[in-house]
Structure 1
Amino acid sequence: MPKIITVAARKGGVGKTTLAYELAYLLDAPLVDLEFDDGSATRIWGYRHEARTRAPLLDAIERGTVPRVLKGHRKPDLVPCHPDFQLNQPDADSMATILETWAEQWGRDFVVVDTHGGGSPSGDGAIAAASHVIVPVPLRTKDLNATESMVREMPDFPLILAPSMVPRVPPAAEIQRIRNIIKDTPVTVARPIPYVRGIETRKKRIALTSEQPIPKAYTAFADALHALADSLKGENL
């Protein structure tokens, strides 16, 4: 069975979509976009639902078919989302079954799912279906509060906390708080993903990790993403 990697967080603005986009590219995985707001992976990819007459994600769910993934140059393969998905998403159990069916039919080693920040029924389904749930965690009080609630809610899920937007000198108190959050749980912590100025306003649609050579300013960021992808491939978590 292919492995479903779900990227989820109980709060928006944590770097979730960037992480999902890059991981899907590095894992050569279809990226199923369940983020129905602007700023989604679908927008980053360059897909504009306004120019289309059909909604592949909604059509596949309604008809019980497997969507055809969109392919692009140096971008992850994509199943694009649509704003109407917000009001037409399946319940959690149905979404989990749908994703498992699609993953099996695609026959790829991995499928990456990006979810709506803050949670949603479809996101809960993607978490339930996941082999691993990657949770981006900026070292900020509100983000740590949301992450702590998530870990308390689902300590038996295969959560991997990924410290994100980490400054060059990480704040010691926040690092210790992450240790406290995962204490006495099976939750693991990935290599920190450093903050890179300008990443949130980057205009290129290609995956940053596809650039050769990687711009010097992005090297540490790309290295952390490669390390996470390699860990998922090797199950060295």
Structure 2
Amino acid sequence: MQTLAVDIGGSGIKVIALNELGEATTERSRVETPNPAKPAPILTEIVSLAAKQGGFDRVSVGFPGVVMDGIITTAVNLDPEWIGLDLAAVLSERLGKPVRVANDADIQGLGTIEGKGVELVLTLGTGFGSALFVEGKLVPNLEMGHHPFRKGETYEEQLGRAALDDVGKKKWNERLEKAIATLEHLFNCDYIYLGGGNTKKITFDLPQNVKIVPNLNGLLGGIALWRD
């Protein structure tokens, strides 16, 4: 049973094939996210990438927003046309395979967590993604990135890629250090995991219970969507 794992991001679309154990059986493929990031061109890119991955039986998709029963309800870093789209149904029709869709940070977490205590996953990319797990169980629809953080701005406004480009690496790191301390205190986390492309910009020493995890986890976690 092969699962095609898809990660839709604000800057890139990635796919890989996984076996039943969630191990990669192909090389990861990536293309730039079309601009504007509307559904039609992104779906076309996914179909094209899928065709190069060989055979697969089902599909898992990570999407940067709130997903409820396969339907997109928020898409802050993509085009508003996504909102209300039944992505699972549309992509299933295009690929001819069953499709399950979840928030991208949730999938990153499913590919990362140990399943013990309170574990928080933060993704630092185009936006600021989050997923909270308690004893291995996901707390659903936690869009922490759009909650107030400091100076009247949200976590995403202070720590997304646009903020990094605007204020520079030094100030961005200072903000991230404050955010980690705030969230650790808020949730009393046993572990905090940091994923996403901007983790390579981190310059300060992380607390002992905070660690950077591979971006590949955002694809590998896709197997968990099929564990009924």
TM-score, length-normalised on structure 2? 0.32
Q: Greater strand share, 1 or 2?
A: 2
TM-score, length-normalised on structure 1? 0.31
